Structure 1
Amino acid sequence: MSEAAKGSDALRVLEERGFIQQCTDREAVEKLLDAGPVTFYCGFDPTGHSLHAGHMIPLYAMAHLANAGHRPVALVGGGTARIGDPSGKTEMRKMLTVEQIQANAHSIGQQIKAFLDQAVGRGDAVTMVDNADWLAGLNYIEFLRDIGKHFSVNRMLTFEAYKQRLETGLTFIEFNYQLLQSYDFHVLSRDHGVRLQIGGDDQWGNIVAGIDLVRRLGGPELFGLTMPLVTRADGKKMGKSEKGAVFLNPDLFAPYDFFQYWRNVPDADVRKFLLLYTFLPVAEINELTNCEGQALNAAKERLAYELTALVHGSATADEALAGARAAFGGQGSREHVPSSELATSELEGGIAAVELYVSVGLCKSKGEARRLIQQGGARINDRKITDVEAQIGTDAVQDGELLLRAGKKRVHRIVVR
């Protein structure tokens, strides 16, 4: 649950926590929010089966606004995903079939609703819409006559998204994307009373274009607000891990790994991420992060716990916390550490250490496993593995298990039966 905020105070909360990058008219937006409940929207294109960590910034912003009494509309782009947004991309997105898009739309729609219902604390926290409902059946000639005439190609090319893509090649189908997203704003304004659109800062051009279109069509004054594209202090792309994207779907990214991703963020990011990715009061965050070095671990653990509890539930967060403390702090049972089973007979002849690391997913390939060993990052039951040709046999088993470590942050437990 976010900090209590009413009316335009929601804008202060968003700004204080680092959510605001650009705003079309700050004073006007303050007045709009202060005047009463405002219906706002944010769009999510279903280009994948699951949301990932990068999608969570707009979700948290939506929750803060909803907790201040405003009305969120979440748009799943079942129509726009058939084209692909060029914003923030250096090459054209892979084209998906309509069936794939529909399946993705259903999946991420459920994730969006579950997240916001949980964050806001009620089952009707968000109105869900799919722009395929009004885009899929458009007559192209009529659309060009009625909507396309309001767009200047010269102006579109001034937006950063198109300028970047021109360097690598911008297709005509992508060039239509801004027209369709602008039309979304028109439809949502007309049919749902939406007055404000929010999104990542790479959406600024599309948002501004939508506001301009509605003005030209004689609609009400609309507004836009964008959020920064979050980066990590260590230079790694936000939401990327050794296992790939940090997905919210537990089948694509295990809850324990999700917990560990946030538990191991760089020290320089802890306060920023607590502000963005939790609903803890700012004063409490300041107290948690008013320290350095090892003392920051408590704040990192809190960040990981709060996020995991919201996305996967409190019981799962409790298990992930217990597993992490057992694996890295020697506290309690290791039963919640990610694990697999291995028959004693398979160890009797010895198994190459590199094969073990690949088989449990700690390394993607034997080459990566060899590099891990050569760099001194491989340990099995606290025994450092230094030989890339090392064979692991039954003599390595302790208390019926092998605990494999890859560096200081990743671990896997093999139960030997």
Structure 2
Amino acid sequence: MKDFLEELEWRGMLHSKIEGIEEKLSAGKIAAYIGFDPTAPSLTIGNYVQIMLLKLFQLSGHQPIVLMGGATGRIGDPSGKDKERELKTTDELDDNLAHQTAQFKRLLDFEGGDNPAIMVNNLDFYRNMNVLDFLRDVGKTLTVNYMLQKDSVQNRLESGISFTEFSYQLLQGYDFQCLYKQYGCILQMGGSDQWGNITAGTEFIRRNLSEKAYAITTPLLTKADGTKFGKSTAGNIWIDPKMTSPYKFYQFWINADDADIPKFTRYFTLHAKEEIEAREREFASDPRELKRLLAEELTKRIHGEEAYQSVLKVSELLFGRNADRDMLLSLSAEELETVSSEIPSFQVTKALFAAGANISDLLADHTQILASKGEVRRAIQGNAISVNKDKINSHEALIPSESLLHGKYLMVENGKKNKYILVANS
């Protein structure tokens, strides 16, 4: 069994803890939880920092609890926010929760061994509680003075904070109390920005149950340039393949700053310390290989082996020197859709190809691949134009509908570096 705190320390994932948790962890299996509010349609790699915390906790022989915020998601956590959150509809939150629950089932082990993960929805704690019960049983636990001391509140006093968001720490504190009573959960974990909310929970357990509870937080993960981890220039990196394709997911790690890779590797790999340190010595002068190894591990873990192989095929088509017609024809419709999002693409109608589309019209009139038919003619004379990896030898060549891959896609190349995808729609 791994020592959980030692594991966090070598990975640089330990920010703060309540003293005494070391003895509890070493004495035997304990339960710990992290809360996730379903305010987005999918989990992101920003969430994955905390998922890794639960994964490492489980691999250390302890029992992780995923607390889905069916209730707290309806309120909005003020932590790290300089203004009020926009409240989601209950239908939207319920849909998000169902989707994220399914994602968690793939990321943690909910069945095997003697420490399977547990999934809980905190809406169950409040479903039958009326406002008077809440004020008597929950609201009396903490004083306003105590709540005002929390950073999540202090940072909002000037700009303003609603009673709704001010009350968030009451719900998170009561959540911890409920999990303590129902599952013997003595530890809550989270990002360092959650320390105030987490310690509100330990205070609930101290005051209402006369028991001791504990907290562990991770540093907020930032990139070398100081920006928040979890986003690219295009926005969030989602774990859902329909929202962020496996190819874009893979490329996020490949395109990471060299300086970030040691930190990212420690946060996200499941390989042992000795293996990672040996790898870093071996590839000290080749950070791209370190990125590739991390990108491979995470793409396989999040999206599966088949998706990873698909990523390699798309990468080979876009960047490989030996990509040929057979390789292009082997791509699925989904893989070609990914290609179309990575290189310049043009929307055309299928009707263009019914009687054969003239190559000059196609490249100069129906797309902007070349500026004029004269340029098309010169490019063809220079042996520069290919369609689906076949060279075009005449400016009068016709492209039939049978050339559309999966009845929809056509790849055009102008020289070795200029690649385009035509997407034919009805």
* TM-score range normalised by the length of the shorter chain: 0.7 to 0.9
Task: Show the counterpart of 2:412.
Answer: 402
Write out aligned runs for 1:74-85 (5 A): 74-85=66-77
Task: Give me the CA root mean square deviation.
Answer: 3.3
Task: Show the counterpart of 2:43.
Answer: 51
- Equivalent pairs, count: 374
Q: How far 1:321 sits from its partner (Å)? A: 3.0
Task: Show the counterpart of 1:244.
Answer: 235
Contact 1:10-1:65 within 8 A present in 2 as well? yes
Q: Distance in 1 between matches of 2:423 and 2:244?
A: 25
Task: Show the counterpart of 2:344.
Answer: none
Task: Show the counterpart of 1:182.
Answer: 173
Which one of 202, 218, 224 corresponds to residue 215 of structure 2?
A: 224
Write out aligned runs for 1:16-165 (5 A): 16-25=10-19, 28-117=20-109, 125-165=116-156
- Could you list the per-position Cα deviations for residues 270-314 of structure 1 after superposition, in whole angstroms to 9, with x for gaps in the alignment? 111111111122222223333788711111011111111111001
Q: Are 2:213 and 1:257 aligned?
A: no
Q: How far 1:70 sits from its partner (Å)? A: 0.3
Structure 1's unaligned 5+ residue stretches are: 357-379
Q: Distance in 1 between matches of 2:363 and 2:87?
A: 43
Contact 2:314-2:339 within 8 A present in 1 as well? no
Contact 2:61-2:115 within 8 A present in 1 as well? no
Partner SS for 1:110: helix
Q: Are 2:314 and 1:314 aligned?
A: no
Deviates more, 1:149-158 or 1:170-179: 149-158
Larger radius of gyration: 2
Q: How far 1:200 sits from its partner (Å)? A: 1.1
Contact 1:274-1:280 within 8 A present in 2 as well? no
Partner SS for 1:321: helix
TM-score, L = length of structure 2: 0.79
Q: How far 1:158 sits from its partner (Å)? A: 2.0
Task: Show the counterpart of 2:361.
Answer: 349
Deviates more, 1:331-340 or 1:319-328: 331-340
Which one of 405, 421, 426 corresponds to residue 414 of structure 1?
A: 421
Contact 2:283-2:290 within 8 A present in 1 as well? no
Q: Distance in 1 between matches of 2:205 and 2:199?
A: 10
Q: Distance in 2 between matches of 1:122 and 1:249?
A: 27
Q: Distance in 1 between matches of 2:161 and 2:67?
A: 25
Q: Distance in 2 between matches of 1:29 and 1:399?
A: 64
Query: Structure 2 vs 1, CA of residues 270 and 201 (structure 1 numbering), >3 Å: closer, same or farther?
Result: same
Structure 2's unaligned 5+ residue stretches are: 341-346, 389-410
Q: Are 2:290 and 1:296 aligned?
A: no
Q: Distance in 2 between matches of 1:169 and 1:327?
A: 50
Q: Distance in 2 between matches of 1:399 and 1:235?
A: 44
Give % identity.
36
Q: How far 1:326 sits from its partner (Å)? A: 4.4
- Could you list the per-position Cα deviations for residues 119-163 of structure 1 after superposition, in whole angstroms to 9, with x for gaps in the alignment? x97798311010011123322122212221221222222222112
Q: How far 1:20 sits from its partner (Å)? A: 1.0
Query: Structure 2 vs 1, CA of residues 415 and 352 (structure 1 numbering), >3 Å: closer, same or farther?
Result: closer
Partner SS for 1:73: strand
Deviates more, 1:284-293 or 1:221-230: 284-293
Partner SS for 1:269: helix
